[in-house]
Structure 1
Amino acid sequence: MSLLSRYLLKELVVPLVVWVAFLFLLLFVMQFLRGSEVILGSSVSLGDMGQLIVYLAPHFLMMALPVAFLLAILLGLGRLSEDRELTALQALGIGPVQLLAGPLAIGVVLAALMVLITSTAEPWGLTSIKTFVADLIKKNVVGDVKSGVFYEDLSNLTLYAETVNAEDRRWTNVLLHDDREPSAPLLMLARNGQVNTNRAGQVLTLELGDGEAHRANQDSESYSVITFKQAEIAVGVEGSMGRRNRFRSPKEELTPTELLQAADEAERTGGDPKPFLNSLYNRLGHALAPLSFALLGTPLAIGRRQGGRAWGYLLSLGGYVAFHLLMRFCEQLGLQGRVPLPLANQLANIIFGVVGLVAMYRVSRAGTVR
């Protein structure tokens, strides 16, 4: 590897790593604050936090890598332009096109890495995180229900226990108000109860014993009372936590093979396969974004003379937002049948790439854009 190649890689790789780390931390903090009621429960340990980071890491990397790469190009190569190092390189016969090789090589590596992540690690992480958070909620309910205190962290459910055994966490003299059906609220009174933590998955089960259930139907103005020896109240954890557990849609939890199978099954049963195919092609479009960012970012970085870091930050943010808006617009064209789905989800990359090639041509002709 030549001295110039090593120097350019240093100018790109170092800020790329720094910005990936910064954006990853920012995304995790945002998710942490959004789900603090779950993550900050009394039963959550440092090991749980580490496991949470592992599950979320692939998804956060898919979000952070493209924008971090664009920032690295605009700030790294932009510094060379501002310090007149590009002018010196041009005097040695090294043109702007030769400078594109470094960013493009890194873009190819990042694109391959993102294709691998979105095909394997990201679906695994998004699938695992839902079960993991469900288990966290179960642990928190076990640990956070206190004697003589109303527990209201499960939306539309209010739980009260007169006493809580410190050893086995069993409750005595329990009150449970279930308002998930506003027209027919349910009130349950029991002498004992506990959380069943043995069932895996996204179902939280409250076991109550020796009590009675009161239900009032507001539509018919009827009131019923039922006594029971043993009762179980199943709570869907994802739904019960409302906005505290907003993770990705099921399509993003499927691998490419599973998406193709789901599309084939939808077509055989008379359904619409487009949402599944669109999800697959959309992932590929986002994964190839570093290539178009390399083609567009390089001429913009080496062609500027002034503006400094603020210019780089603003252009990176504007370019990333524009890319996603363009992706969404082209995606809708594909879903409406105006453009084939594979092409629709690559149009943003194609447009950015073409604009970048035109800009590179202008920079090559002029040496630099003044």
Structure 2
Amino acid sequence: MILLARYLLKELLGPLVVWVAFMFLLLFVMQFLVGTEVLLGSAVTLSDVGRLILYLTPHFLVKALPIAFLMAILLGLGRLSEDRELTALQALGISPVQLLLGPVAIGLVLGGLMALLAFTAQPWGLTSVKALVNEVIKKNVAGDVKSGVFYEDLSDLTLYAEHVSRQGGEWTHVLLHDDREPSSPLLVLAQRGRVNMRGSDDALRLVLEEGEVHRANRSTTDYSLLRFEQGEVSVGLGSSMNRKGNRFRSQKEEMSPGELMQAAEEAGKSGGDPRPFWMAIHMRVSNAVAPFSFALLGTPLAIGRKQGGRAWGYLLTLGGYVLFYVLSRVFETLGNQQKLPMLLAAQLPNLLFITVGVVAMWRVSRSGTVR
């Protein structure tokens, strides 16, 4: 039995590593394309890209491990089936149920790893990504403003500097037109200006010195003039600059379990709905259980398929993962709407896949592995 387990682990771990690497690369390319304007800015360095990959790695692993594990089971055990090795094992008295040992063991390890990542490294990484993207956007703005050229990449803002220092950090004779309130636009003229790189919040802050603010009301004849020694114009990165790719995460994924529970408690005290925060915790546990349910379902699909059915097997595997994802979202919505208990809503996709896997294994055991 130990020899069989080692052999199965060898057959599964190789494809698993390959599929995880492939899915990781695919997910990174997709996110990279979303944030191209940010990540290909003039101020982005290789260090920034390296930090981005590091911060996104836990999130990508949580997304990639389940589907990669399913594909590894199909490829590893499917090869044994196609080469008639499963038939030989059955002739030696090894039942299909015993072949579950390797996939289930790997599934439990992957589930533990996913739980660890989802509750610790993933929130840390996504929070760090948010800070990194904001930092890169600020550096890009500071570097992209050129002498004598109107800069219009900020939503509803137009920036002009007569002279920009070589390092791109200081502007001289600055003009800023703020049209975020169309009824009363602002015109700011300043002797000097720069980007405040020290801010850590979700805002781009433009520091202007020795200038004046002109405000006109388009609906009336009112006109205001204000002179200042130093002031800041704040631009929200989450809204005004959302089109520049600052969309690498959802808010709940950034939060640790403690923060989710605190948010649920605060929502309950303020009359809000705490269920989405509790549901987020249950969904992380559900995702960690997914490799185990995939092991129970994927093994009979791999060893029970017909010869030459590899393409059909891949299609079935991908379809199964899509179905699992869709069911997870549907049941999560039902849990948030109080139509199902939260624990049941989160684990119902796993329970369904486990049930189908047990039935499929029972049928394979009765009919044997020969096809």
Range class of TM-score, shorter chain: over 0.9
CA RMSD of superposed structures (Å): 1.8
Residue 17 (structure 1) shift: 0.6
Residue 69 (structure 1) shift: 0.4
Which residue matches 1:260?
261
> Is the contact made by 1:188 and 1:214 (CA closer than 8 Å) also made in structure 2?
yes
Residue 34 (structure 1) shift: 0.9
TM-score (norm 2): 0.94
Which residue matches 1:41?
41
CA offset digits 1:157-180 (Å, max 9, x no partner): 221212101147211121222232
Residue 309 (structure 1) shift: 3.8
> Is the contact made by 2:13 and 2:72 (CA closer than 8 Å) also made in structure 1?
yes
Which residue matches 2:350?
349
> Is the contact made by 2:217 and 2:223 (CA closer than 8 Å) also made in structure 1?
yes
Q: Could you tell me how far apart the structure 2 residues matched to 1:272 and 1:168 are?
A: 47
2:322 equivalent to 1:321: yes
Which residue matches 1:340?
341
**C-alpha spacing 1:352/1:226, structure 2 compared with 1 (3 Å):** same
- For structure 1, the residue ranges without an aligned partner over 5 or more in a row are none
CA offset digits 1:13-60 (Å, max 9, x no partner): 111111111111111111111111111122211111111111111111
Amino acid at match of 1:151: Y
Bigger shift: residues 102-111 or 313-322: 313-322
Give the paired residue count: 370
Which residue matches 2:76?
76
> Is the contact made by 1:204 and 1:235 (CA closer than 8 Å) also made in structure 2?
yes
**C-alpha spacing 1:221/1:357, structure 2 compared with 1 (3 Å):** farther
- What SS does structure 1 have at the residue aligned with 2:238? helix
> Is the contact made by 1:264 and 1:273 (CA closer than 8 Å) also made in structure 2?
yes
Residue 311 (structure 1) shift: 2.3
**C-alpha spacing 1:80/1:55, structure 2 compared with 1 (3 Å):** same
Which residue matches 1:214?
214
Q: Could you tell me how far apart the structure 2 residues matched to 1:303 and 1:136 are?
A: 51
- What SS does structure 2 have at the residue aligned with 1:100? helix
- What SS does structure 2 have at the residue aligned with 1:215? strand
Which residue matches 2:287?
286
> Is the contact made by 1:62 and 1:118 (CA closer than 8 Å) also made in structure 2?
yes
Q: Could you tell me how far apart the structure 2 residues matched to 1:266 and 1:250 are?
A: 15
In the TM superposition, 1:190-209 aligns within 5 A as 190-209=190-209
- What SS does structure 1 have at the residue aligned with 2:239? helix
- What SS does structure 2 have at the residue aligned with 1:38? helix
Which residue matches 1:240?
240
CA offset digits 1:226-269 (Å, max 9, x no partner): 33332210122222321311132322211112212222232233
Q: Could you tell me how far apart the structure 1 residues matched to 2:314 and 2:271 are?
A: 48
In the TM superposition, 1:1-370 aligns within 5 A as 2-167=2-167, 169-220=169-220, 222-243=222-243, 244-368=245-369, 370=371
CA offset digits 1:206-233 (Å, max 9, x no partner): 1112323233334446443333332210
Residue 305 (structure 1) shift: 1.4
Bigger shift: residues 27-36 or 169-178: 169-178
**C-alpha spacing 1:261/1:200, structure 2 compared with 1 (3 Å):** closer
Bigger shift: residues 270-279 or 194-203: 194-203
Amino acid at match of 1:337: Q
User: Percent identity, aligned pairs only?
Assistant: 66
- For structure 2, the residue ranges without an aligned partner over 5 or more in a row are none
- What SS does structure 2 have at the residue aligned with 1:345? helix
